[in-house]
Amino acid sequence: MQYRTIGKRKVSAIGLGEMPMSIEGRPDEAQSIRTIHAALDAGVNFIDTADAYSIGGADTGHGEKLLAKALASWSGDKDSVLVATKGGHYRPGDGSWHVNSRPEYLRAAVEASLRRLGVESIGLYQHHRPDPSVDYADTMGILKEFLDAGKIQMAGISNANIEQIKIAMSILGPDNLVSVQNQFSLVFRSGEKEMNFCEENDVVFIPWSPLGGIGRAKSLSGGYAPVTEAAKRHGVSPQQAVLSWMLSLGKNVIPIPGASKPETILDSAKSVDLVLDEEELRQISGIHP
C-alpha cells in the first residue's frame, strides 16, 4: 500500500467507500464483513461511510454499525484505521434522500454516530451536503463546535463549491478544514475546479463515485479506448487504470471506490502500484464524455 495524509493521519492512497454495503442492493452482512476485512488486510486504512448509508428509517446508521462490527472482529491495529462518517443527510425509508442541517439535527446526528461507531471522538466527520434552508456559515459553526468539544478529531465537507470551501476554511480556522469530498470521475469532471482549489490550499480532495457510481462502474470505466488500451498494456483492469490516473492528478487526491465484495476492493487497491506513462495519462485526461 502507498499512503497519503489527511490532517495528521497517514491513510492509504485508496480508501474504501462503504455505501454499496448499506443501501438498496447491499449484500448480506457476512459478505460485507469479508469485504471490509479484505480491504483492511490489504492496507486500506481509510473507510468512508455516512449515517444516511442505510435503507432509511430505523435502518439509519447501518454503515456505521457495520464498520464498528467489522473493526471489532478484525485482528489488526484498529487505531491505524481512519473511519470517516458524515451527517446532514437522512433517508425516511421510501428510497429518497433529504438534507437537514438545522443545528439541533446535526447535534443529535453526531451523538448518534458516536454511539454507533462506539468511539469517544470521530476520526473524520464530514458535513454531507449543503442545506439550502440553513446558512452555510452557521453549519460550519456547528462543525467547529464539534471540533472544539472533541467530539470529532478532524472536519471535512462534501458536495461543496469553492465559495462554500472558502466559508468552511474561514469559520473552521486555519488548517481545520482537512478534506472536501465531491463527485469526480472520468465521466463527471465538474469537480475538477474544487480539486484544483483544494490542492492550492493544502486540503485533501476525496472523489466520490470515482468509478462512475454503483451499477455503472464496470461499463463506464471500461467504455473508453485510452483506458482499456492502457489497462491491456499493463495487464490490469480498466478500473485500476482510472484510479491510477486519478491518483496522478494530485498528492492531495484520495479516491474512495465503493465495493460490496472483496475482489473489487482488492483490485482497486492495487492501483497504487500502477504507474501509467505521461502519454497514457494525457490520453485519459483527454476523454471528455
Ligand X SMILES: NC(=O)c1ccc[n+]([C@@H]2O[C@H](COP(=O)([O-])OP(=O)(O)OC[C@H]3O[C@@H](n4cnc5c(N)ncnc54)[C@H](OP(=O)(O)O)[C@@H]3O)[C@@H](O)[C@H]2O)c1
Q: Which residue has the cell 465503493?
A: 258
Q: Which residue is nearest to ligand X (CB)?
A: 258
Rounded least distance, CB 181 to ligand X, Å: 5
Q: What is the amino acid identity at position 95?
A: G
| Residue 53 annotated to the active site | yes
Q: Which residue has the cell 437522512?
A: 90
Alpha-carbon span 27 to 21, nearest angstrom = 6
Catalytic, out of 3, 53, 136, 224: 53
Q: Say if residues 46 and 11 touch (Cβ distance below 8 Å).
A: yes
Of the pair 84, 150, the CB lying nearest ligand X is at 84
Of the pair 149, 232, the CB lying nearest ligand X is at 232
Of the pair 148, 190, the CB lying nearest ligand X is at 190
Of the pair 174, 235, the CB lying nearest ligand X is at 235
Interface positions with ligand X (CB under 6 A): 17-20, 48, 129, 158-159, 181, 208-214, 217-218, 237, 239, 256-261, 264, 267-268
Rounded least distance, CB 264 to ligand X, Å: 3
Burial of 152 (C-beta count, 10 Å sphere; 0-12/13-18/19+)? buried
Rounded least distance, CB 167 to ligand X, Å: 18
Q: Say if residues 267 and 24 touch (Cβ distance below 8 Å).
A: no
Alpha helix locations (H) across the chain? 29-41, 62-72, 103-117, 136-148, 162-172, 192-200, 217-221, 225-234, 238-247, 262-269, 278-285
Rounded least distance, CB 185 to ligand X, Å: 6
Of the pair 34, 261, the CB lying nearest ligand X is at 261
DSSP 60-98: TTHHHHHHHHHHHT--S-GGG-EEEEEESEE--SSS--E
Active-site residue set: 53
